[in-house]
Amino acid sequence: MAKKKPAGSQMVYYFGKTRTDGDTTMKQLIGGKGANLADMTSIGLPVPPGFTITTECCDQYYQNKQKFPKGLMDDVAEAVKTLEKETGKKFGDNSNPLLVSVRSGAALSMPGMMNTILNLGLNDESVVGLVNATGNERFAYDAYRRLINMYGDVVMEVHHEYFEEAFAKIKKKYNAKDDNDVPTEGLIELVHAYKEVYKKHTKQDFPQKPMEQLELAIEAVFKSWNSDKAISYRRIEGITGLKGTAVNVQSMVFGNMGDDSGTGVAFTRNPSTGENKFYGEFLINAQGEDVVAGIRTPQPVDEMPKWKAPTDKTIGKKMHDELMKIKTKLEKHYKDVQDIEFTIEKGKLYMLQTRNGKRTGAAAVRIACEMAKEKLIDEKTAILRIPAGDLTQLLLPSFDPAAKKKEKPLTIGLPASPGAAFGKLAFSADEAVDRAHDGEKVILVRKETSPEDVDGMHSAAGILTSTGGMTSHAAVVARGWGKCCVAGAGAIEIDEKGKKIKVNGKTFTHKDVISIDGSTGEVFAGEMATVSPKMSGDFETVMKWADKHRKLGIRTNADSPEDAKRARDFGAEGIGLCRTEHMFFEPERIIHMREMILAEEKPAREAALKKLLPYQRKDFEGIFKAMAGLPVTIRLLDPPLHEFLPHDAKSQEEVSKATGIPVAKIKTRVAQLHEHNPMLGHRGCRLSVTYPEILVMQVTAITEATINCLGKKIDAKPEIMIPLVGTVKELAMLRRITEETIEDVKTKKGFKGNLPILIGTMIEIPRAALTADEVATEADFFSFGTNDLTQMTFGYSRDDINSFLPDYLSEEILERDPFQSLDTTGVGQLVAMAVEKGRKTKPKIKLGICGEHGGDPASIFFCHTVGLDYVSCSPFRVPIARLAAAQATLKHGK
Ligand code: ADP
Ligand code: MG
Ligand code: MG
């Protein structure tokens, strides 16, 4: 028996009755698949024995100019010997041959990304051995033709189509409709034909030495780690820092040995809805990938008990019972939903894979709640189990049932991934990417999708396939992303080249809109109306749990009463950022705004501002009303003035008409206001320093609105935020004018009481962070404007970053877009420093964040650790922030 080598140098990890080296904690080293195969073996589940080559070997393979690490094949040979002993079969034998599969498997699951080779070890001699050992000639040649095909395709890159063509010829000759209808002699002929195809395209004979087959297959798995589709998938999923893929070599079991054999995939609970019901598909007399490939349509596992074989009338019931026992055992062991692959060989069940099942946001919520109820996990685990970002899916609209009633679906496919999507048809992944990039909403229609399509699938609003089941590539990937998908809509005829589909006699082209309902599988012509979602009881439970544990307050970024109201319904505890510039863009307002900017003298400016005042006041009253009793942070005017200017001739004419200023003069003024770097130019508090009357108007509107609301018993709580401060003196000056203005308004309105309006600033210029102790002397609160802070700390223009960001991400110079997820190492230091300095000056100073980062779970975690009081994010992200804040407390402690 092979001896275990000292830790660190071991390249091959065995699993089986002889010994099991790995366990579930070793995912980094032996990959998720390998770790769980070892683990399942250890807990006594029926797993065919095998061994795993470490991810470190893959890493070394690349470091070593694509050569195997020294001694790897010796260790592999030794492990094969152990496997031969354990199974009583011999690799390449002509009486009872050992066959193996070669499977990839990185630390994180990448469904369908890498290639599996089955039946390895077959050659012209051992195929006869397999006939002798099994007494099943048809099966043996079926296995052999599959090997030549997979090996040719995966290892030698012979296009699958060439094999398909050869197969089609044989099928035609034997008048066979299905693969399974081809008789034995047909399969023997097919093996010859496949060998010819192989030779024609590789200029070599199909390798007859099993060890040579194995070596090349292992290398092919290593190579697949850096295939385009694998790289693409890692980029989209943001997977970085992995060593490579492990390689699993496992003795074969056969689902294609007759009517008492089969193969399947299943989830221990429903991955779309979360319902606690075993869910999956199986195929009788089939091997491996047949289920996922969509060649034959599988049956739902629910129907398994009805399965009868001539030799065994109760086989289905027995297998189903056993699977149910395994479901319980796996869930008890992993304490999570499992996604499993199994094969039945002549009435004996084998487990080939288990992993935590990918699920939709809705399913994640339901599963967490129900598992907590079942006492499988505790409340804290349940909270940590739900990917906070996935809650967005629960907040998305669905099709309006009333509208649906009036419309007959064109066809109904499988409800592969819930959601409601509509768009124009796109027929290839590239087309979907391009058109989505140009701002179009598209539905990607394919016969079936493959890993090459992931970019296009990601870009599309929804995915529609005409073949493939609930566990097909499209379905699995879409569910992982929470993207709407209808699969297997067989009535749809796709003409990819002609760019049209035909369904029930109607034709649709790339110009036509269709709607797909991923929760029901329905497909409709045209754009269907949508309705906002209703929150489930489980969602409420999760939110309640989250509120119990979180320390961070949650506010929202909202500029209108509607947004404010929505955010409040989602649980926002205030507004952390109310931008005022958006309020100036409506047609009847922009004209006065332009008039103000174009004015050269203060009196003219003041006259224009006077016309804007009532609009602003009314806006604020609406927002105060919606947020009554909760704080509302209002940011004074921030963008460069030129953003409001009329740049084209037509709008210049309009302004001229409305204001009486000659067009020529407008042109000159526009040119005067031009800046080379507007985002670093005349904006933010700098505007109020040069034009204090703008600030006066805005503060007047805020104060009047507050007094008016209080008069109506509406508890308005404004906080005035002065943007883009870099030195304490700017803030001191503007604070003084703000306070004077508030006093003026009070006097004018005869308001006697106390108006508790806080005055604070954004920390978004690095200098403000560095001198936060000084700035704090003039501020009642800080709100970190991490969008600008990131822009100025990195020196990346946030409006132009897309010209180089993709390269930075693919070269892994940056792990992720720093505008989406806060750069905690760099920008984070400035935040942490400002928190510390600010609190030193003013221990009670209120601290929050209002950049985009306020709704990003990883950034929220950081905000919790540096001790902010609240985060503020867009209304739809409020539930995400509540959950992420609770997760931060649980992960980080106080
Ligand atoms: P993927 O990561 O794409 O799911 P797998 O390595 O899991 O690829 O292999 C795909 C399928 O091949 C499995 O679900 C299983 O049905 C079949 N398979 C792999 N290894 C074996 C084996 N040793 N015996 C029988 N079938 C196997
Ligand atoms: Mg698998
Ligand atoms: Mg800013």
Statement: residue 568 has pLDDT above 90: yes
Q: How confident is the model at residue 8 (pLDDT cuts 50, 70, 90)?
A: low
d(CA 724, CA 11): 56
Predicted local distance difference test score (pLDDT) of residue 830 = 98
Q: What is the DSSP string of 76-131?
A: HHHHHHHHHHHHT-EET-SSSEE-EEEEEE-SS--TTSS--EEEET--TTHHHHHH
pLDDT tens digits, 15-53: 999 999 999 999 999 999 999 999 999 999 999 999 999
Question: 44 burial class (0-12, 13-18, 19+ CB within 10 angstroms)?
Answer: exposed
CB 424 within 8 A of CB 430: no
Strand segments (E) across 252-393: 262-267, 279-284, 299-300, 338-345, 348-356
Closest alpha carbon to 25 in 98, 142, 107, 122: 107
- The catalytically annotated residue of 58, 709, 850, 863 is 850
Statement: residue 429 has pLDDT above 90: yes
Ligand 1, from 33, 118, 119, 282: best to mutate by most atoms within 8 Å of Cβ? 118
Q: What is the DSSP letter of 529?
A: P
pLDDT mean over 835-840: 98
Q: Is the CB of 252 under 6 A from ligand 1?
A: yes
Å from CA of 446 to ligand 2 middle: 23
From atom 18 of ligand 1, which residue's Cα is the shortest distance away? 288
- The catalytically annotated residue of 473, 592, 853, 864 is 473
Q: Is the CB of 341 under 6 A from ligand 1?
A: yes
State which amino acid sits at residue 456: G
Q: What is the DSSP letter of 872?
A: E
Statement: residue 894 has pLDDT above 70: no
Reading the block at residue 878, the tokens are: 């409020």
Sign of CA dihedral 428, 430, 434, 436: positive
Percent of the chain scored above 90 by pLDDT? 75
Å from CA of 516 to ligand 2 middle: 28
Q: Is the CB of 352 under 6 A from ligand 1?
A: yes
For residue 288, give the ligand 1 atom closest to its CA: 16
d(CA 517, CA 188): 46
pLDDT mean over 367-375: 97
Predicted local distance difference test score (pLDDT) of residue 295 = 63
pLDDT mean over 103-113: 80
Statement: residue 812 has pLDDT above 80: yes
pTM score: 0.82
β-pairing verdict for 338-345 and 348-356: antiparallel
Q: Is the CB of 118 under 6 A from ligand 1?
A: yes
d(CA 645, CA 792): 25
Q: Is the CB of 52 under 6 A from ligand 1?
A: no
Q: Is the CB of 343 under 6 A from ligand 1?
A: yes
Total residues belonging to the chain: 894
d(CA 42, CA 30): 16
Closest alpha carbon to 294 in 487, 56, 60: 487
> What spatial distance separates the first Cα and last Cα of the chain, rounded to whole Å?
52
Predicted local distance difference test score (pLDDT) of residue 741 = 98
Å from CA of 437 to ligand 3 middle: 27
Reading the block at residue 351, the tokens are: 């487990």
Ligand number with the minimum distance to the CA of 116: 1
Grouping H, G, I as helix, E, B as strand and the rest as coil, residue 340 is strand
CB 227 within 8 A of CB 13: no
Ligand number with the minimum distance to the CA of 109: 1
pLDDT mean over 318-337: 97
d(CA 264, CA 344): 8
Reading the block at residue 216, the tokens are: 């090349």
Question: How far, in Å, are 173, 463, 698 from residue 178 at the CA level?
Answer: 13, 28, 75
d(CA 250, CA 48): 7
From atom 23 of ligand 1, which residue's Cα is the shortest distance away? 252
Q: Is the CB of 116 under 6 A from ligand 1?
A: yes
Of all residues in the chain, what percent are helix, strand and coil, respectively (each to 5)? 50, 15, 35
pLDDT mean over 477-504: 89
Pick left, alpha or beta for residue 771 (phi over 0 → left; psi -120 to 50 → alpha; otherwise beta).
alpha
Q: Which residues are near ligand 3, the ion (C-beta closer than 5 Å)?
A: 764, 785, 788
Statement: residue 7 has pLDDT above 60: no
List, in sequence order, every residue forming a beta bridge with 246; answer none if it has no partner. Answer: 105
- Angle between helix 602-626 and 561-569 (nearest 10): 30
Å from CA of 406 to ligand 2 middle: 42
Question: 401 burial class (0-12, 13-18, 19+ CB within 10 angstroms)?
Answer: exposed
For residue 105, give the ligand 1 atom closest to its CA: 2
Q: Is the CB of 353 under 6 A from ligand 1?
A: yes
pLDDT mean over 380-397: 90
For residue 248, give the ligand 1 atom closest to its CA: 6
From atom 3 of ligand 1, which residue's Cα is the shortest distance away? 112
Strand order in the sheet with 262-267: 299-300, 279-284, 262-267, 338-345, 348-356
Q: Is the CB of 101 under 6 A from ligand 1?
A: yes
Question: How far, in Å, are 286, 414, 466, 614 from residue 297 at the CA level?
Answer: 11, 12, 12, 66
CB 324 within 8 A of CB 236: no
Averaged confidence pLDDT in the chain: 92
Reported as type and span, the H/E element at residue 878 is helix 878-892
Ligand number with the minimum distance to the CA of 792: 3
Å from CA of 572 to ligand 2 middle: 42
Closest alpha carbon to 576 in 849, 860, 201, 867: 849
Across 174-178, 183-187, 397-401, which has the greatest mean pLDDT? 183-187
β-pairing verdict for 758-763 and 781-784: parallel
Ligand number with the minimum distance to the CA of 352: 1
Across 150-159, 379-388, 523-532, 668-677, which has the greatest mean pLDDT? 379-388
Ligand number with the minimum distance to the CA of 288: 1
pLDDT tens digits, 654-698: 889 888 889 999 999 889 888 999 889 999 999 999 999 999 999
Active site residue 850: yes
From atom 13 of ligand 1, which residue's Cα is the shortest distance away? 288
Predicted local distance difference test score (pLDDT) of residue 879 = 95
For residue 104, give the ligand 1 atom closest to its CA: 6
d(CA 868, CA 861): 10
State which amino acid sits at residue 771: T
Ligand 1, from 101, 104, 263, 339: best to mutate by most atoms within 8 Å of Cβ? 101
Residue 403 CA, distance from chain mean position: 30
Ligand 1, from 282, 345, 353: best to mutate by most atoms within 8 Å of Cβ? 353
pLDDT tens digits, 128-174: 999 999 999 999 999 999 999 999 998 998 998 999 999 999 999 99
Grouping H, G, I as helix, E, B as strand and the rest as coil, residue 867 is coil
From atom 11 of ligand 1, which residue's Cα is the shortest distance away? 288
pLDDT mean over 526-535: 85
CB 648 within 8 A of CB 676: no
Question: How far, in Å, are 187, 491, 577, 777 from residue 141 at the CA level?
Answer: 6, 35, 69, 84
Ligand number with the minimum distance to the CA of 103: 1
From atom 27 of ligand 1, which residue's Cα is the shortest distance away? 288
CB 96 within 8 A of CB 134: no
Q: Is the CB of 363 under 6 A from ligand 1?
A: no
Q: Is the CB of 250 under 6 A from ligand 1?
A: yes
Grouping H, G, I as helix, E, B as strand and the rest as coil, residue 557 is strand
Q: How confident is the model at residue 175 (pLDDT cuts 50, 70, 90)?
A: very high
CB 357 within 8 A of CB 338: yes
From atom 6 of ligand 1, which residue's Cα is the shortest distance away? 103
Q: What is the DSSP string of 212-262?
A: HHHHHHHHHHHHHTTSHHHHHHHHHHT--S----EEEEEE---S-SSTT-E
Grouping H, G, I as helix, E, B as strand and the rest as coil, residue 643 is helix
From atom 12 of ligand 1, which residue's Cα is the shortest distance away? 288
Q: Is the CB of 31 under 6 A from ligand 1?
A: no
Å from CA of 481 to ligand 3 middle: 31
Å from CA of 353 to ligand 2 middle: 6
Å from CA of 720 to ligand 3 middle: 15
pLDDT tens digits, 73-83: 999 999 999 99
From atom 8 of ligand 1, which residue's Cα is the shortest distance away? 116
Percent of the chain scored above 70 by pLDDT? 98
CB 886 within 8 A of CB 545: yes
Q: How confident is the model at residue 314 (pLDDT cuts 50, 70, 90)?
A: very high
pLDDT tens digits, 469-483: 777 788 878 876 778
Statement: residue 97 has pLDDT above 50: yes
For residue 113, give the ligand 1 atom closest to its CA: 3
d(CA 134, CA 758): 84
Ligand 1, from 254, 343, 355: best to mutate by most atoms within 8 Å of Cβ? 343
- Higher per-residue confidence, 719 vs 596: 719
Å from CA of 559 to ligand 3 middle: 15
CB 724 within 8 A of CB 765: yes
Statement: residue 112 has pLDDT above 60: no
Q: How confident is the model at residue 199 (pLDDT cuts 50, 70, 90)?
A: very high
List, in sequence order, every residue forming a beta bridge with 444; answer none if it has no partner. Answer: 426, 463
d(CA 113, CA 275): 28
d(CA 435, CA 511): 12
From atom 19 of ligand 1, which residue's Cα is the shortest distance away? 101
Ligand number with the minimum distance to the CA of 104: 1
Predicted local distance difference test score (pLDDT) of residue 113 = 57
Å from CA of 103 to ligand 1 middle: 7
Sign of CA dihedral 471, 474, 480, 483: negative
Q: Is the CB of 888 under 6 A from ligand 1?
A: no
For residue 342, give the ligand 1 atom closest to its CA: 16
Ligand 1, from 225, 352, 450, 476: best to mutate by most atoms within 8 Å of Cβ? 352
Q: Is the CB of 262 under 6 A from ligand 1?
A: no
Statement: residue 598 has pLDDT above 90: no
CB 72 within 8 A of CB 60: no
pLDDT mean over 437-457: 89
Statement: residue 881 has pLDDT above 60: yes
CB 682 within 8 A of CB 641: yes
Predicted local distance difference test score (pLDDT) of residue 1 = 42
